């Protein structure tokens, strides 16, 4: 039974942050760490899984993740080439200045909000990403100044999405990290093979009834609804990779094309064909 893994991050001597480009797309790395993390991924489409939040992203994603917030690596299952930048910050990044200096008050609030995960879009994402890419050519001190400028930009942005509900308990995730790690990995492995609630319940040593109560409390969704949401997010990614609707339907585990269309429309707000057409039109414009 796999658990949510604790990632132990090592920093270079004299550095308060780590700037790098990991490549883990063939690894299901469901993990957490004590450090803050800013993640940028540039790809056709991928899965964003932070805390109890699961959704898809297209073209690129920029997310700020707070301390000990469990998340899946953003490059998991990416099929085409991609670019990723990750910045991990020491727990004492900027020391006490971040909470004491009035000049850092907005950044201090940003770091507090990151406990639930924050995604950025629009012009904010464009500007921040350009600054992130420029850091690669700078020395450590200029990188640090650049990071402060990026966080100041993010702190004042309204182009944001809080990924988890205030009710989500990180401590609950971590206390039950073995159980939740096993559940998510089971769903990821069997989403296209009729995931069985009875089997996953037995894997985490619960009766089916107890598991259903537990899972609903944890995710605010039934097991079936969660699996269907996961399948539809994967379907969106396949459609954005130019797969046709029929092959997408069966690839993510649906046996009925009409049911797939109906459920896709209910969750996304448009049918798969319209979604694919609109995405390619916006991508080419």
pTM: 0.75
* pLDDT tens digits, one per residue of 118-176: 999 999 999 999 999 999 999 999 999 999 999 999 999 999 999 987 766 566 555 56
**Which one of 52-66, 142-156, 194-208 scores highest in mean pLDDT?**
142-156
Please state the domain extents for the chain.
5-162, 176-284
- The architecture in CATH of the region 5-162 reads Sandwich (2.60)
**Which one of 216-220, 256-260, 281-285 scores highest in mean pLDDT?**
256-260
Q: What is the 3-state secondary structure (H, E, C) of the chain?
A: CCCCEECCCCCCCCCCEEEECCCCCCCCCEEECCCEEEEEEEEEEEEEEECCEEEEEEEEEEEEECCCCCEECCCCCCCCCCEEEEEEECCCCCCCHHHHCHHHHHHHHHHHHHHHCEEECHHHHHHHHHHHHHHHHCCHHHHHHHHHHHHHHHHCCCCEEECCCCCCCHHHHHHCHHHHHHHHHHHHHHCCCCCCHHHHHHHCCCCHHHHHHHHHHHHCCCHHHHHHHHHHHHHHHHHHCCCCHHHHHHHCCCCCHHHHHHHHHHHHCCCHHHHHHHHHHHHHC
Between 1.10.150.120, 3.40.50.300, 2.30.33.40, 1.10.10.60, what CATH number should domain 176-284 receive?
1.10.10.60
45 pLDDT exceeds 80?
no
């Amino acid at each position: 039974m796999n658990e949510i893994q604790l990632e132990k991050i090592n920093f270079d001597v004299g550095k308060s942050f780590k700037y790098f480009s990991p490549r883990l797309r063939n690894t299901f790395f469901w993990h957490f760490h004590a450090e803050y993390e800013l993640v940028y991924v540039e790809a056709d489409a991928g899965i964003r899984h932070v805390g109890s939040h699961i959704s898809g992203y297209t073209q690129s994603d920029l997310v700020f993740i707070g301390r000990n917030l469990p998340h899946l690596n953003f490059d998991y299952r990416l099929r085409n080439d991609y670019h990723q930048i990750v910045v991990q910050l020491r727990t004492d990044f900027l020391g006490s200045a971040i909470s004491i200096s009035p000049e850092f008050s907005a950044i201090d609030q940003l770091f507090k909000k990151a406990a639930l995960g924050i995604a950025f879009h629009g012009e904010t994402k464009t500007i921040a990403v350009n600054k992130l890419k420029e850091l690669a050519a700078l020395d450590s001190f200029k990188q640090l100044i650049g990071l402060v400028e990026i966080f100041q930009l993010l702190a004042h942005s309204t182009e944001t999405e809080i990924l988890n509900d205030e009710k989500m308990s990180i401590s609950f995730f971590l206390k039950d990290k073995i159980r939740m790690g096993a559940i998510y990995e089971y769903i990821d492995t069997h989403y296209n093979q009729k995931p069985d609630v009875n089997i996953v319940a037995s894997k985490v040593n619960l009766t089916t009834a107890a598991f259903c109560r537990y899972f609903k409390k944890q995710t605010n969704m039934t097991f079936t609804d969660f699996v269907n949401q996961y399948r539809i997010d994967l379907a969106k990614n396949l459609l954005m990779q130019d797969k046709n609707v029929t092959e997408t339907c069966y690839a993510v585990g649906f046996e009925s094309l009409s049911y797939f269309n109906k459920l896709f429309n209910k969750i996304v707000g448009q049918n798969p064909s319209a979604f694919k057409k609109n995405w390619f039109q916006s991508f080419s414009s």
